[in-house]
Amino acid sequence: MKKLLIITSLIFVANTVTLQAQNDEEAKPPSSQKFVSVEVMKPMFWFMRDLGYVIEAEFSYQHKALIYNINGGYSDIKDEIYDDLDYQNTGSYVKFGIGFQLNYSNKVIRSSSLIIGTNLIFTSFDESGIVLNDFSNYGVLGEAITQKNSPRGGEFYFTYRKVFDSNFFFSATPRIAVVLSRFNDEKFPVYYVPGFGVVNGSNDSDFSIGPTTTSNRGEAVAIGLSIKIGYRF
């Protein structure tokens, strides 16, 4: 009888330890997670100004501290960047790169994450505009011009990401993007590069047809802020 009680007690303790270990394992966040998000800052910026729209989505896969991500976007904007040019810009872009969670520790992907990373950016877009020329003898005449561009570059970013209990998350990302290939053409200076941001232009500038002093410039820097909402799987 005494042996039976000892064996029963050992079985009970073993079961208790096993169940506790299983519960701890279930409560522990997995070392790999997937995230899907959409941009909200850029669409709001252009929509509030009634100058078009930008759509951007991101998928990222995190394994331990490393994060692999890919972004895709489409933009269709307009702006009166020059006094005599009605400007339109339409294009798409893709970004892909890698990030690193700075506060990753004890094999746990934390719900509040600090991330640094870099992306390569490839974009293709068309620009068009109607140049208004005021001739004293003929009045104001318009000339339609277009140009195509496919520049490349990269960006560096720092992200704060907060995941809530519902698995929805919010992220804020200051970023610096650099256009590394030629983006200005001979027809008119590029104002906006999809995936990068505003790189040229002024509302107080006058526009004239033909080459400009910046037409062969191959680099530009755009600084921006990205805010996204999404879901963790």
Tens of pLDDT, residue by residue over 64-117, are: 999 999 999 999 988 766 656 678 899 999 999 999 999 988 777 788 999 999
Q: How many Å apart are CA 98 and CA 70, to the nearest integer?
A: 9
Residue with the larger pLDDT of the pair 191 and 20: 191
- For the four alpha carbons of 69, 179, 93 and 161, in that order, the dihedral sign comes to positive
Span of 83-97, 170-184, 188-202 with lowest mean pLDDT: 188-202
User: 140-163 burial, b if ≥16 CB within 10 A, otherwise e?
Assistant: eeeeeeeeebebebbbebebebeb
Q: How many Å apart are CA 202 and CA 31, to the nearest integer?
A: 48
For 227, phi then psi, to 5°, come to -125, 125
Q: How many Å apart are CA 45 and CA 39, to the nearest integer?
A: 11
Residue range 43-67, pLDDT digits in tens: 888 888 788 889 999 999 999 999 9
To the nearest 10°, report the CA torsion of 208, 211, 212, 214. 140
Q: pLDDT value at position 177?
A: 93
pLDDT mean over 27-48: 83
- Total-model pTM: 0.76
